[in-house]
Chains A and B, each alone.
Chain A
Amino acid sequence: MSWNWTFAGDLISPLLQGLRYTMAATVLGYVLALALGLVWAILRRSSNIVVRQTVRWIVEFIRSTPLLVQLVFFFYALPQTGIQFSAFWTGVIGLGVHYSTYISEVYRAGIENVPRGQWEACTALNLPRSRVWFGVVLPQAIRQVIPTLGNYLIALFKDSPLLLVITVPEMMYVAYTEGGKSGFLEPFTIAAIIFVIVSVLSSVLTRRLEARYATV
């Protein structure tokens, strides 16, 4: 079997079409992961031990089950309980929830690195809880972990092909269905190349962000 340039050329447009879904799912999933991860991280510092422990076990549970299993569960099992989303949104939620557990750990490390004196200065100034978090602690914590957060964006992007199993028409899904027609060599090769290009571009972007905002 040899490489078919005509077939390869015809694939570019549908694969890029698929890439749009990949990118959309990645960005939305990541935003959800950033937000939810923050919720986990803050709740894990709650003064209420029940809240703290519950969140700890939720996070541990999600982190200990494979993303693929979660996606399949959300898409095929959950509808039987009456909860149903489109394939795309199931993918976004699956990626977001799964990665939120990793990202909460990243935040946690950042938060723990904020010197105790900063918290004490907040108490001495009597700042309300919301300002302590959003005005003082998180801006300092997040700066320190921007590189790690960037790595998780790329990791999430590289996990997005898993959405193939729940029929999201992202790039791998397109490559797979197109390959079924005239062979898998070209579509999978081109898809892989596109993945590399986007990953490298994201790393460059992350490094720029890091240089601009990260301390140390």
Chain B
Amino acid sequence: MPPSEATPEAPTPEAALPHGDTPGIRFDKVVKRFGSNVVLRELDFTVAPGERVTLIGPSGSGKTTILRLLMTLEKVDGGTIHVGDAPLSHMDRGGKLVPANEKHLHEMRKQVGMVFQQFNLFPNMNVLRNLIEGPVRVLGLPKDEAVERARGLLDMVGLSDKIDAHPSQLSGGQQQRVAIARALAMQPKVLLLDEVTSALDPELVVGVQDLLRDIARESDLTLLCVTHEMHFAKDISDRVLMFDQGQIVEEGPPDQMFESPTEQRTRDFLQAVLAT
């Protein structure tokens, strides 16, 4: 028997990662309020297909809200959001945009994946079931295919040996890797990263960041990332957006943003963050 058949090749990271058409994102005059608190004020911005954008800014500036709107965890109060050519929060009915129903949201969500600060793995399921639940139940993948996909992703995140473990048996860093694999198992075209290393012990941060850096480099995912880790932001992004009070104060490539920001607000923020 030839050696190549005796030892089947492990899936490469490239094979495990989603590829294909990657829709961009467009915010048109998006308004989001929580009670009387206006979090986003007529926000306009676009993200090109495959672009990697990091949102920075002080707490409460609306960064996370943007990700939550894209994941349909929140509803817009005004304006529209497009993912690819289709409106996310609305749907077209006879040439008019009306608020999206659950069916439309379900379709749109297939394109978007999210990794949370607190991982949010399902503690009642082992790692494998966390990874195949979505592909089997939502995408309708046959179980063995979903398992194969899960194995490939676990291999990529370096946790093949934890396939039967429960989340409570994993470290924070390992849980977050599984959460990343779980999001990728759905093969989204847009991946949202919401302060994914904020809840980790300092020594675990680098491993997760390295993994995400590899994913960013080797996939053509459209990436939106909220982080307080400026080095990571610099490494991972094509463009950085500085937010304050629900609006973009300044934007540009990471080198320019971190080395020669033009706005005083950005300079103050970076100084405060880098001092800590």
What is the interface of chain A, defined by CB distance below 8 A to chain B?
A: 115, 117-118, 120-121, 123-128, 131, 135-136, 139-140, 143, 215
B123 is an interface residue with CB less than 8 A from chain A: yes
Chain A: interface secondary structure?
helix
B residues less than 8 Å from A215 (CB atoms): 123
Whether A117 contacts B120 by the Cβ 8 Å rule is yes
User: What are 22 A-to-B residue pairs whose CB atoms are below 8 Å?
Assistant: A117-B116, A117-B120, A120-B71, A121-B116, A121-B121, A121-B122, A123-B72, A124-B71, A124-B73, A124-B113, A124-B114, A124-B116, A126-B110, A126-B138, A127-B137, A128-B138, A131-B137, A135-B122, A135-B133, A140-B122, A140-B123, A143-B124
Q: Bound complex: CA of A117 vs CA of B114, how far in Å?
A: 12
Whether B134 contacts A126 by the Cβ 8 Å rule is yes
Which residue on B lies nearest to A215, using beta carbons?
B123
Interface residue total, chain B, C-beta cutoff 8 A: 24
State how many angstroms separate the Cβ of A76 from the closest Cβ of chain B. Answer: 46
Residue from A115, A125, A143 whose CB has the most chain B CB atoms within 10 Å: A125
Q: Bound complex: CA of A125 vs CA of B106, how far in Å?
A: 10
State how many angstroms separate the Cβ of B53 from the closest Cβ of chain A. Answer: 19
Q: Known interface pairs A128-B137, A128-B138, A131-B133. Does A123 touch B120 (Cβ–Cβ under 8 Å)?
A: no
State how many angstroms separate the Cβ of A141 from the closest Cβ of chain B. Answer: 10
State how many angstroms separate the Cβ of A136 from the closest Cβ of chain B. Answer: 5
Residue of A120, A125, A131, A136 near B124 (CB, 8 A) is: A136
Whether A126 contacts B122 by the Cβ 8 Å rule is no
Residue of A120, A126, A127, A135 near B116 (CB, 8 A) is: A120
Q: Bound complex: CA of A169 vs CA of B183, how far in Å?
A: 58
B residues less than 8 Å from A120 (CB atoms): 71, 73, 116, 120
B219 is an interface residue with CB less than 8 A from chain A: no
Residue of B72, B118, B123, B186 near A125 (CB, 8 A) is: B186
Q: Bound complex: CA of A124 vs CA of B72, how far in Å?
A: 8
Q: Bound complex: CA of A143 vs CA of B123, how far in Å?
A: 11
Whether A118 contacts B120 by the Cβ 8 Å rule is yes
Residues 73 to 89 of chain B near chain A (Cβ within 8 Å):
73
B residues less than 8 Å from A127 (CB atoms): 133-134, 137-138
Q: Known interface pairs A117-B118, A118-B122, A120-B120. Does A125 touch B134 (Cβ–Cβ under 8 Å)?
A: yes
Which residue on B lies nearest to A135, using beta carbons?
B133
Residues 94 to 141 of chain B near chain A (Cβ within 8 Å):
106, 109-110, 112-114, 116, 118, 120-125, 133-134, 137-138
B32 is an interface residue with CB less than 8 A from chain A: no
Q: Bound complex: CA of A213 vs CA of B118, how far in Å?
A: 24
Contacts A125-B133, A126-B186 given; 20 further ones with Cβ under 8 A? A115-B118, A115-B120, A117-B120, A120-B120, A121-B122, A123-B73, A123-B109, A124-B71, A124-B73, A124-B109, A124-B112, A124-B114, A124-B120, A125-B134, A126-B109, A126-B138, A127-B138, A136-B122, A140-B122, A140-B124
B residues less than 8 Å from A139 (CB atoms): 124
A residues less than 8 Å from B177 (CB atoms): none
Residue from A117, A121, A124, A215 whose CB has the most chain B CB atoms within 10 Å: A124
B182 is an interface residue with CB less than 8 A from chain A: yes
Q: Please list the 5 inter-chain residue pairs (A to B) with the smallest Cβ-Cβ separation, ordered nearest first.
A: A121-B120, A117-B120, A125-B134, A124-B114, A139-B124
State how many angstroms separate the Cβ of A131 from the closest Cβ of chain B. Answer: 5
B residues less than 8 Å from A118 (CB atoms): 120, 122
Question: CB-defined interface of B136-151 with A at 8 Å, one 1/0 digit per residue?
Answer: 0110000000000000
Q: Bound complex: CA of A140 vs CA of B182, how far in Å?
A: 19
Whether A123 contacts B71 by the Cβ 8 Å rule is yes
Whether A126 contacts B121 by the Cβ 8 Å rule is no
B residues less than 8 Å from A136 (CB atoms): 122, 124
Whether A125 contacts B116 by the Cβ 8 Å rule is no
Which residue on B lies nearest to A130, using beta carbons?
B137
A residues less than 8 Å from B112 (CB atoms): 124
Residue from A120, A136, A215 whose CB has the most chain B CB atoms within 10 Å: A120
State how many angstroms separate the Cβ of B189 from the closest Cβ of chain A. Answer: 13
State how many angstroms separate the Cβ of A15 from the closest Cβ of chain B. Answer: 43
State how many angstroms separate the Cβ of A119 from the closest Cβ of chain B. Answer: 9
A residues less than 8 Å from B121 (CB atoms): 121
